[in-house]
Amino acid sequence: KNEVEQSPQNLTAQEGEFITINCSYSVGISALHWLQQHPGGGIVSLFMLSSGKKKHGRLIATINIQEKHSSLHITASHPRDSAVYICAVIIGSRLTFGEGTQLTVNP
Amino acid sequence: DTGVSQDPRHKITKRGQNVTFRCDPISEHNRLYWYRQTLGQGPEFLTYFQNEAQLEKSRLLSDRFSAERPKGSFSTLEIQRTEQGDSAMYLCASSETAATEAFFGQGTRLTVV
């Protein structure tokens, strides 16, 4: 079993829909990242959080440390949101990654 | 500062050849990480540096792999006697400390033919 599990693996939505991607982890962590990866490989950090909730534009990330669970929400989704979204946790000195969620938003 | 940069972006090499990749982190970042990502998978940790010291290496890093960060600034990752299984995206990231946000480069995509 991976230390970091994401769901769903693939998600297709219509433009404008509200999207939720979930991340569960099995060990104690100091913080969690949500990352976005576009075709071509570049990874962009969306959020780093260790408690509560953060919001940036149409993106919202929440974390429940007791339940070892985090969610990434996208409101009013747009085709340009299509990408792979990766959850990564800081364990000790390094990041451990989930396998990613491939999001496709259709116009 | 333009962020983390990696060079080259793409590398095609024949099996058995040696390859070297370079990563230039954000200038004030002490931590530098190397990750490997195969198609459809999340990145996997390879190694990391605190300044010039290599503090941890994954078991994924066989003896054909070596990484250096000689002056605590840029880093190189060398793969000797490449194998087809080495084909992957090699990602570099840097951060100020272990607990601060990591910033990623665009990656080097290696194809071994």
pLDDT of residue A29: 86
Answer whether residue B98 shows pLDDT above 90: no
| CA of A50 vs chain B CAs: smallest distance (Å) | 10
When pLDDT is cut at 50, 70 and 90, the band that residue B1 belongs to is low
Answer whether residue B45 shows pLDDT above 80: yes
pLDDT of residue A77: 97
Q: Are the Cβ atoms of A93 and B56 closer than 8 angstroms?
A: yes
Q: Are the Cβ atoms of A94 and B101 closer than 8 angstroms?
A: no
Peptide bond into A79 cis (omega under 30): no
Cβ distance B104 to B89 under 8 Å?
A: no
Expressed in angstroms, the distance from the first to the final Cα of chain B is: 35
Question: Pick the residue with more confidence: B81 or B61?
Answer: B81
DSSP E strands, A1-107: 4-7, 10-14, 19-25, 31-37, 43-49, 52-56, 59-64, 69-74, 83-91, 94-97, 101-106
For A15, left (φ over 0), alpha (ψ -120 to 50), or beta?
Answer: beta
With contacts defined as CB-CB under 8 Å, which chain B residues touch A97? 35, 42-44
With contacts defined as CB-CB under 8 Å, which chain B residues touch A46? none
| Nearest-CB residue to B33 (from A35, A94, A99) | A94
pLDDT of residue B76: 97
| Nearest-CB residue to B41 (from A88, A95, A99) | A99
Chain A residue whose CA is closest to B55: A93
Write out pLDDT tens, residues A1-57.
Answer: 678 999 999 999 999 999 999 999 998 888 899 999 988 778 999 999 999 999 999
Query: From CA A15, how far away is CA B75, in angstroms rounded?
Result: 42
Q: What φ, ψ does residue A8 adopt, rounded to 5°?
A: -75, 170
Residue A46 near chain B (CB below 8 Å): no
Residue A34 near chain B (CB below 8 Å): no
Q: Are the Cβ atoms of B56 and A96 closer than 8 angstroms?
A: no
Residues with Cβ within 8 Å of A95's Cβ and at least 6 positions away in sequence, in order, are A33, A88, A89, B33, B35, B43, B45, B93, B102
